[in-house]
Structure 1
Amino acid sequence: MAEAITTDTVGVLVVDDHALVRRGLRAFLDAEPQLELIGEAADGQDALDRLKQWRVTGARLPQVVLMDLQMPRLDGIAATKAIVGSYPEVKIVVLTSFGEAERVHAALSAGAAGYVLKDAEPDEVATAIRAAATGEVHLDSAVARLLAKRMAAPQAGITSLTLREREILVLVAQGLCNREIAEHLVISERTARTHVSNLLGKLQLSSRTQAALLAIREGLVVSPG
């Protein structure tokens, strides 16, 4: 089991099949005082093997995995889905050269908590890592604009939501989990979960990330980019 976090340092596992990319990310992480590289993996299967070994030995698990998409043996999408399923406390930030909407949707559907392009500024990569570590979703600003533009408008639309559901939609877009929403609104976690499920159904959306993008598009919250 992962050890409790006792400092502000975020442990990061880098997963990329290119040694030169891993070397660059290692230098980047070494220069960030609040980020710490705790391991590297050459592909998705290697990442799973390392996580399994760390859990068995009781070693610290990374809070965040920086995941490439296109890799041999086990690609980034499959690895993301496997890690989210077996290690829900570990968050995935996809760091890739591919910005197509289909790839982004696939990564987010697999459970990724962030999606950043490799040509992004170092500050944005650091922001995405820190956001994921605190339970938030961070998308590259260009990717967020692309998804918001490509996402079909729900038939029912925002107007179908109750005032409470609109309020919860904003909180979802701000990255709050059901427990945090419940605490913020002074309601039970079960009630918060029901409201989230209801608003996703009304908006014909399949994930909280899609709901967040819709809230950004409708101007209910400000895009992080």
Structure 2
Amino acid sequence: MIGDAAIGAGVHVLIVDDQRAARAGLTLMVDRAEDLTVVGEADNGQEAIDLLEAWAAAGRRLPDVVLMDIRMPVLNGIDATAAITRRHPGVQVLIMTTYDEDDYAFGALDAGAAGFLLKDTRTADLQRAIRAVADGDAVLTPRITAEMIRRRRSRSVITSRGQTQARSALESLSPREIDVAALVAQGLNNAEIAGRLTLQPDSVKKTVSRILTRLQLRDRIQIVVLWNHAGCRGVKNELVTTDR
């Protein structure tokens, strides 16, 4: 287990990677922002879990965001993500991946990750992503969203009953909530949704939270899945069935 940094204000970040050089590089990128602070490091998934458990037992503030590598000894990033999001739902996990690790990354999304970034991401993009997930957003590009939906569809047959249940759940939403859910399903983040609907980002964030609560969903990714199970698109505050 790696020693942790001094506690500060702003967004707290835990870095988990079995490569010391990678951890050092990510720390430099994160700490360049005044509102972001790396408060700890771990070199595998189990050490990350142990560190969080120790902090929780001591009554210490947990990190807001975990930057998680996928391929690590002892415990990989997918299993660690599942454990962390189950035990500490307030901690958001961002998976750090490479182009050839998409299969692993999608598994991490299923495990509860808030999204994933390429390891060669630029400093500004990394900092924006950390802020976004700490604020309850998700980091999902349209490409990733489309591929995730395709893979889920290929793994399970959506029955007419299941589609009807999904549509029924969505129809319980208000017109504004339907508009927001439709854009979440397209992979847009809160700022992009705000621009599209001419709303304030805080208003979008509150609306997403209401959708999650009303539909008893864990995160934005489940909104994406439910929306596409329903086979719908949002048009002028209405649900319209799409041809499949």
- TM-score (normalised: structure 1): 0.70
Q: Which residue of structure 1 lines up, in the alignment, with residue 71 of structure 2?
A: 70
Q: 1:19, CA displacement in angstroms? A: 0.5
The corresponding residue for 2:194 is none
Partner of 1:201: none
Residue 46 of structure 1 is matched in structure 2 by 47
Structure 2: gaps of 5 or more residues: 1-6, 191-201, 236-244
Distance 1:146 1:64 in 2: 24
> Are the equivalent residues in 2 in contact too, given 1:115–1:140 (CA < 8 A)?
no
The match for 1:143 is: 144
Once the 2 structures are TM-superposed, how far is the Cα of residue 163 of structure 1 from its aligned partner?
Answer: 8.7
Q: Give the total of aligned pairs.
A: 198
Verify: 1:180 aligned to 2:206, yes or no. yes
Deviation at 1:59, TM superposition (A): 2.2
> Secondary structure of 1:139's partner?
coil
**1:171 aligns to what?**
180
**CA contact 1:29–1:36 (8 Å) conserved in 2:** yes
Moved more, 80-89 or 158-167: 158-167
After superposition, give the CA deviation of every residue in 1:75-123 in whole Å (9 maximum; x if it has no partner).
1011001011111111101112255553233111111012111122222
Q: Gaps (5+ residues) in structure 1?
A: 184-188, 199-205, 221-225
Partner amino acid, structure 2, of 1:81: A
Residues 46-95 of structure 1, C-alpha deviations (whole Å, 9 max, x = no match): 00111111112222210000001111111101100101111111110111
Residue of structure 1 in register with 2:29 after alignment: 28
Question: Aligned residues: percent identity?
Answer: 32
Task: Pick closer, same or farther for the CA change 1:182–1:124 going to 2, 3 Å.
Answer: closer
Question: Are the aligned partners of 2:30 and 2:123 in contact in 1 as well (CA < 8 Å)?
Answer: no
- Write the distance in 2 (CA, Å) between the matches of 1:6 and 1:31: 14
TM-score by length of 2: 0.65
2:16 counterpart of 1:15: yes
